[in-house]
Amino acid sequence: MNASGSVGTWSVWVAGAAFLVLLGASCTPNGNSQASTASNTTASPPPPGYAPPPGYYNPSGPPPGYPPAQPGAPAPAPPPAAYAPPPAYPPAPPPPTTGAPPLPSSPSQAPPSTPPTPLAPTDPNTLQGIIQGIQGALQGQLVAPGAMPADLTDAGLKLHAAHVAPGMQPDGSELKQNLTEGQHAVMMVTLQAGKCYTIAGFSPLGGVKDIDLNLLAPPFFLTLAGQDLTHNNTPVIGASPSPMCPVIAFPLQYKLDVFARSGSGQVAVQLYSKNK
């Protein structure tokens, strides 16, 4: 009986000692064993249907903000940087001009687009009658001043010109014509800048009692540039001290209408001029 109890007690002590030895071995640190265990340990994938808690990163999924990766597709490229337009530059100044500026065209290269301004007083109310009258006008008979023997008509014209055109000389041909009452005769006169002009006419006693002189401006001769406003046998346009002084730089031809308004007889008309 005592022998059985001693054997049982000894067996318990042996078993306890063995247990303590094993427990000490398991608690003793062993770097090689830990390294081997760590190297042989692999992370197992999460089970199907596993979703990480809110706020945790899912290592098996795409980063936040990127679409899910397709099987076999390359890794997505990083988003491009925002495009910044180049700074605005002021426009380049125009290249400097070289050489002399273009010269204005000469006035003599083109006729005036508008008729010249009146050179002497006119009565526009008479223009329509003048235009109608000159449609059947005679072409005035022209003579050189002083070419014919002096007569009452020429003598009276010279005296009249000395009064209304002092210091002027005859310019161009003289119209010397016999006119009946209501008849027109026309002649062309040339006026240019740098000179002043007077047109004088005369008919002796017993001839034309009322002579009208009408100066029509180019290019169509439908505008009055000057007119005799008297009602006698000594008409004049541009009498002193207010002669006609054109300002256009090149010569212009005007049409002069001589109209026998009342009476019939010989008429003489002359253009006179002087330098400014």
Residue 86 included in any domain: no
CA-based nearest residue to 230, from 256, 211, 247? 211
Q: How far apart are CA 254 and CA 109, in angstroms?
A: 19
pLDDT per position as a tens digit, 164-180: 999 999 999 999 999 99
User: What's residue 150's pLDDT?
Assistant: 73
Q: How far apart are CA 169 and CA 156, in angstroms?
A: 16
CB-CB contact of 143 with 173 (8 Å): yes
pTM score, two decimals? 0.59
User: What's residue 22's pLDDT?
Assistant: 53
Q: Count of residues for the chain?
A: 276
How many structural domains does the chain have? Answer: 1
Region of 151 please: left (phi>0), alpha (psi -120 to 50) or beta. Answer: beta
Name the percent of the chain lying above pLDDT 70: 58
Where do we find the tokens 């005769």?
185
Residue 59 included in any domain: no
Residue 54 included in any domain: no
Handedness of CA 142, 146, 149, 151 (dihedral sign): positive
User: What's residue 73's pLDDT?
Assistant: 61
Residue 40 included in any domain: no
Residue 101 included in any domain: no
User: Residue 237 maps to which CATH number?
Assistant: 2.60.120.380
CA-based nearest residue to 271, from 258, 68, 260, 259? 258
Residue 172 included in any domain: yes
User: What's residue 7's pLDDT?
Assistant: 46
Q: What are φ and ψ of residue 24, in 5° steps?
A: -65, -35
Where do we find the tokens 């006008």?
137
Under DSSP, the state recorded for 232 is S
Distances (CA, A) of 96 to 87, 89, 93, 102: 26, 20, 9, 15
Full residue range of the structural domain in which residue 252 is found: 126-275
Q: Please list the residues that pair with 121 across neighbouring strands.
A: none
Residue 163 included in any domain: yes
User: What's residue 49's pLDDT?
Assistant: 65
pLDDT per position as a tens digit, 10-45: 555 556 556 555 555 554 445 444 444 444 445 566
3-state DSSP assignment of residue 125: helix
CA-based nearest residue to 181, from 275, 74, 98, 264? 264
Residue 82 included in any domain: no
Q: Which residues lie closer than 8 Å to 219 by C-beta, 6 or more apart?
A: 111, 112, 115
CA-based nearest residue to 106, from 274, 233, 248, 253? 248
Q: What are φ and ψ of residue 158, in 5° steps?
A: -65, -40
3-state DSSP assignment of residue 165: coil
